């Protein structure tokens, strides 16, 4: 059984939570988010906390209820603090710039890569080699970061490319004569 799933998600003051059927909705200072829980999982809001437990004792239900609890906790964190990712750009001539609702990336190609910033996501570029991505939905922030990184993933010989700030690139030695 999941040990994470047994813990209730305590809703602090300033955040309103509601459970209608299988839909969990949370509103807070950073916006409103909702998550639809799988049918094998039972979700309740009582005593200022959201509790999750499996409806039936099947392997699938036991596997899903810990995940459902983590998703509900991410909703709470998203509407209170929000999520952010930092990307670093390494390489000669590699840089990023904001142009309205578009992110323009010079990544060593013959053309600049232009990325349209989706709604609900905020991107800032404090330096030409740093990109900060923030928003209230963990999945969307991670997806945007992964899409930007996929334009030029870091390569192992010189380390050039777009990488997460906490990512370690295993460097390889070049050819010997």
Per-residue pLDDT tens for 17-31? 889 988 999 999 988
Q: What percent of the chain has pLDDT over 90?
A: 62
- Residue 4: pLDDT band with limits 50, 70, 90: confident
So what's the pLDDT on residue 177? 80
Beta strands 161-164 and 83-90 are antiparallel
At 33 the three-state DSSP class reads strand
pLDDT grade, residue 2 (50/70/90)? Answer: low
* CB within 8 Å of 117: residues ≥ 6 apart: 101, 102, 103, 123, 144
Are 90 and 129 contacting, i.e. CB atoms less than 8 angstroms apart?
Answer: yes
| Tens-place pLDDT, residues 32-56 | 999 999 988 899 988 889 999 888 8
Q: What pTM was estimated for this model as a whole?
A: 0.86
Domains in the chain, ordered, with CATH? 9-80 (3.90.930.12), 83-164 (3.90.930.12)
């Amino acid at each position: 059984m999941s040990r994470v799933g047994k813990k209730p998600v305590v809703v602090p003051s300033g955040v309103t939570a509601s459970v209608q059927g299988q839909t969990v909705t949370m509103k807070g200072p950073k916006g409103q988010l909702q998550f639809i829980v799988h049918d094998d999982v039972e979700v309740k809001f009582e005593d200022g906390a959201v509790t999750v437990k499996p409806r039936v004792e099947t392997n699938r239900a036991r596997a899903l209820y810990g995940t459902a609890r983590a998703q509900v906790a991410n909703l709470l964190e998203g509407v209170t603090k929000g999520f952010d990712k930092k990307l670093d750009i390494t390489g000669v001539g590699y840089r990023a710039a904001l142009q309205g609702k578009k992110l323009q990336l010079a990544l060593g190609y013959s053309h600049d890569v232009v990325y349209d910033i989706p709604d609900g996501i905020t991107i800032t570029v404090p330096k030409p080699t740093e990109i900060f991505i923030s928003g209230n939905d963990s999945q969307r922030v991670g997806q945007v970061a992964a899409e930007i990184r996929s334009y030029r993933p870091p390569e192992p010989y010189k380390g050039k490319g777009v990488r997460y700030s906490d990512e370690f690139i295993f460097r390889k030695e070049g050819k010997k004569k």
